[in-house]
A and B are shown apart, each in its own frame.
Chain A
Amino acid sequence: MEAILDNFKFKAARALTELTLGPPGVIAPEKSSVVGQKCNKRALPEKNDGATSPVAKAQVVGWPPVRAYRMNSFRARKGEVDDDGCGIYVKVSMDGAPYLRKVDLKAYNGYKELRGALEDMFKCCSLGGEEGYDESEYAITYEDKDGDWMLVGDVPWGMFISSCKRMRIMKGSEARGLSSSA
C-alpha cells in the first residue's frame, strides 16, 4: 500500500467511493468546503491582488431586469441561515479523540464535502505519528437506522443522510480491514 503523506488522507478512499460525474479515474475539480456553514456553499474566490475590485456599486433602479418576485427569493436566500430550521445533526466520534463533534449533514452537497469538513474538524485531534500508526489507516463509518455500522460512501448521498444516525472515524487495526484504499 502506498504511503500517503498528510494526516487524514481521504483521497485514496475518496477516489474509489466518490460519486463523480465522469468515468472512474477522472478527478473532479476541487471545491473548497466550508465546515458548519449552511448558506451558499460556494466559496467566494480570493480577490486578486492588484485587480480593481468593484466598490459597492450604487444599485440602479430596476437593473438588472429581474422581477421583484425573483429578487425577493434571492434576498431571502442571502439572509437565511437555514430557514426550515431542521438540520440533520449527527454525532461524530473519532477513535482516541477526547470529545465528539456534531455535524449538520444537510450542510453538505455530497461525500466529498463531508470528508473535507471532517478532515478540517479533526485535524487538531489527530494522533499523527504517535503509537506507531500508519496514519493512512482510517475509515469513516456510520450507524444506520437498523443499528448496523456501515462504511460511508456506499449508498447515494440522499439515502445516506436520511438513514445516518451517528458517525465514527475508525483508526488503526479495526480500520485496516475496512479502509478502501486496500
Chain B
Amino acid sequence: MPPHPEWTAAMFPDEVWEHVFSFLPSDADRNVAAASCHAWLRIERRSRRRVFVGNCYAVAPAVAVARFPEARAVEVKGKPHFADFDLVPGDWGGGADEWVAAMAEGWPQLEELRFKRMVVSDDCLEVIARSFRNFRVLGLAFCEGFSTAGLAAVAANCRNLRVLDLQENVIEDNCSHWLSHFPESFTSLVHLNIACLPGEVNVPVLERLVSRCTNLKTLKLNHAVPLEKLVILLRKAPQLVDLGTGRFSGEHHLDLYSKLESAFTGYKSLKSLSGTWEAVPAYLPAVYSVCEGLTSLNLSYATTQNPELIKLVSRCKSLQRLWVMDFIEDDGLAAVASSCKLLQELRVFPSDPYGPQPVSLTERGLVAISAGCPMLHSVLYFCNQMTNAALIAIALNRPNLTRFRLCIIEPQTPDYLTLQPLDAGFSAIVESCKDLRRLSVSGLLTDRVFKSIGAYADRLEMLSVAFAGDSDAGLHYILSGCKSLRKLEIRDCPFGDKPLLANAAKLETMRSLWMSSCSLTLGACKLLARKMPRLNVEIIDERRGASWDSRPDDCPVEKLYVYRTVAGPRSDTPSCVWTV
C-alpha cells in the first residue's frame, strides 16, 4: 500500500517544503503542488510571495488576499486587451478600489504593487501611500482615473519607494508640484518613469531629487522636458542605465549640440534609450557615443527619417530590442540585419496609419531581419503588403519565434503578388515555430489558416484575429485545437454560435474570450452561461437600450466578453454590460 501523501508531507517540517517550493519556476507549478494534498496546499499558500491575478474579476479580492497571507508582491490586470483600441466602453469596469482595500486590510507587509489596465483613483493611491510600511514598488501601466494629486500622496508617504513606474497611463494634471512632495530625506529611488505625464515638470525639483537618489538607474522623462533641461539632468545622474529623454528638441542655443554630446560621452553604463519625441535629426549624433553599449532602443516616437535613422541604429551593435517607426524602411531594416546580430525583439510602428503611405516599408524588411538576426524571437510589424513567400521564408529562417504579430494595415489584404489569401504563410509560421506563444494574424485569411493554427500551435497562449475566416469552422478549429490557449480575441469575423457552444468547456481552460462584430446571438450566450456556471458571460451593449432580459433569442450580440471566474457575476457592472 503506497504511503498516504499526508504522511510524506509530515516527514519534513514546513520550512523545508517552503524552500522546495521556492524553486518552482512558475505560479502554475505552485498551483499544481498546492492541489496535490492539504498539507502542501497549506504550506504553499503560506509561502507564496508573488501573486499574479491575470483577470481582476476571476477572484474576489478578499479571497485572494486571504489565500496568500504572506504575499509581498502582487500584479493585477483589469480590462481586456482590446480596450487599448477603444473597443471597450470607458465605464466597463476594472476598478482597483476593492483590491486596494482588501490588500490594505490583509497585506500590511506588501512591498510591490502593479496594476495593468485598471481604473485607479486618487483615493486608491492615498490608501496605498498610507497602508504599507515597506512599500517599494508601484507600477501602473495603461491605467486611468488618477491625477498628480494622487502621485503627490505616494511621494509624500512612501519613505522607501524604489520604483515608480508609470507606463502610458492617462493622468490628470492638477498638482504640478507633486514631485516636491518627495521629502528632502528621501533618497531611495532606483526607477522613475514619468514619461506619460501630461504637464510640465518642475526641473529644478527633479534635479534635486535625481541628485540625492544616487542609486537611480532608470529615469524616463516626459514630453515637457526639452533638450537643454535634459543636459542638466544628465549631469546629475551619470550612473543611469535606462534613460527616456523628453522631447529631442529645444530652444536653439549655440552650444546645445556640443553640451548634449559631451553629456552623453560621460554615460558609461547606459543600456537603454527611449523617448526622443520629435527628434530633430541634427541632435541625434550627440548620442552616438552610447550606441555601442545600448541593448534597448525605442525610437518609436521619433519622427526621424533615413538616412539619419539608419546612421543611428547601425551603430548599436549590441542591440537586443529595437522599437522604431516605419521610417526605418526596408533599407534601414537591411542595415539593422547586418549590424545588430544580437537582436531579439523588433517592433515597427506605422507613422501615418490613416494617410497615404509614402514609406517604403514592405515584407522585404521583415524577411531581411529574419534572415540576419539569429536570436530574433519577438516581432510586431505594421506594414501595407505581404506575401505568402515572405511569411514562409520568415518561418523557415526563424523557427525560434515566440511572439509574432503582423498587422497589414488594410483589412483583408491578399498576397499582393499572387492575390491569394495568406493562409499558406501563416500556416508555415505555426508549423515551423513550435514555441510560438503569441500570434496576431491579418490580411486575407480563410478557415484554412485556422485549421493549421488549431493543429500546430500547441504552445500558443494568446491569439488575435481580425477580419478573417469564412465560417463557423474557423472558430471551431481554434477552440478545438490550440492546447495551451489562454486568451482569444476576435473582431469582425463571420464566426457564430455553434462553435462557441460546441467548445464551451474549452472556455473554462482559458482566461478569457473576446468576440466583437461577429455573428453571435443572445440565445447562444444564454445557453453558454447556463452550461458553464463558472464563466461570466458579459454582453457589452454601448447603446444601453432595452433590457436584455426581454429581448428575443435571435437578437444579435455585438460584443461578448467571456472569462472564467470563481467569484461569480460581478457587482459593479455598468449599464452597458449585462452578465447573462
Binding site for B on A (CB under 8 A): 20-21, 28, 40-45, 54, 57, 59-71, 73-74, 77-78, 83-84, 86-88, 105-106, 109-110, 145, 156-159, 161-163
Contact = CB atoms under 8 A, between A and B. Distances in A.
Given A73-B301, A162-B257, A21 B307 contact: yes
A110 B308 contact: yes
B121 interface: no
Contacts of A69: 168, 196
Given A64-B409, A67-B85, 8 more contacts: A21-B307, A45-B358, A60-B492, A65-B85, A156-B285, A158-B257, A159-B257, A161-B282
B498 interface: no
A84 B307 contact: no
Interface string B251-263: 1111111100000
Contact of B491 (A62, A83, A84, A162): A62
Interface in B426-485: 440, 464, 466
B184 interface: no
B353 A162 contact: no
B296 interface: no
Contacts of A61: 85-87
Given A60-B411, A84-B249, A74 B353 contact: yes
Interface string B268-310: 0000000001101111111000000000000011010101101
Given A158-B286, A162-B256, A73 B350 contact: no
Interface residues of B, number: 56
- Complex A-B, nearest 5 residue pairs according to Cβ-Cβ distance, in ascending order: A62-B85, A158-B282, A162-B257, A158-B257, A88-B252
Contacts, number: 117
A59 B278 contact: no
Contacts of A20: 307
A78 B352 CA distance: 9
Q: Which of B82, B278, B407 has the most CB of A within 10 A?
A: B278
Contacts of B352: 74, 78
A43 B356 CA distance: 11
Contacts of A145: 254
11 contacts: A45-B358, A63-B85, A65-B466, A66-B350, A68-B86, A70-B301, A84-B247, A110-B281, A157-B281, A159-B257, A162-B282
Interface string B64-97: 0000000000000000001011110000000000
B357 to A, nearest CB: 9
Contact of B278 (A54, A84, A110): A84
Interface string B343-364: 0000001111111101100000
A158 B259 CA distance: 12
B139 interface: no
A145 B277 CA distance: 28
A66 B252 contact: no
Interface string B324-339: 0000000000000000
A65 to B, nearest CB: 5
A9 to B, nearest CB: 23
A106 B257 CA distance: 13
Contacts of B257: 158-159, 161-162
A163 to B, nearest CB: 6
Nearest to B491: A62
Q: Which of A57, A78, A83, A158 has the most CB of B within 10 A?
A: A158
Contacts of B382: 64, 66
B531 interface: no
Nearest to B380: A65
B84 A68 contact: yes
Contacts of B280: 106
A74 B258 CA distance: 30
Nearest to A71: B353
B134 to A, nearest CB: 32
Given A62-B86, A65-B407, A106-B280, A86 B307 contact: no
B576 to A, nearest CB: 15
B506 to A, nearest CB: 25
B311 interface: yes
Contact of B255 (A73, A87, A162): A162
Contacts of A106: 249, 252, 280, 282
Given A44-B358, A59-B354, A159-B258, A67 B84 contact: yes
B84 A162 contact: no
A39 B562 CA distance: 45
B250 interface: yes
Contact of A70 (B86, B256, B284, B349): B349
Nearest to B355: A78
Interface string B157-183: 000000000001000000000000000
B278 A162 contact: no
Interface string B525-542: 000000000000000000
A66 B301 contact: no
A73 B277 contact: yes
Nearest to B250: A84
B226 interface: yes
A109 B308 contact: yes
A67 B285 contact: no
A158 B303 contact: no
A61 to B, nearest CB: 6
B309 to A, nearest CB: 10
A74 B325 CA distance: 11
A84 B227 CA distance: 11
A162 B87 contact: no
Q: Which of B86, B282, B307, B440 has the most CB of A within 10 A?
A: B282
A42 B86 CA distance: 30
A28 B285 contact: no
A43 to B, nearest CB: 8
A158 B279 CA distance: 12
A67 to B, nearest CB: 5
Nearest to A164: B254
A88 B528 CA distance: 65
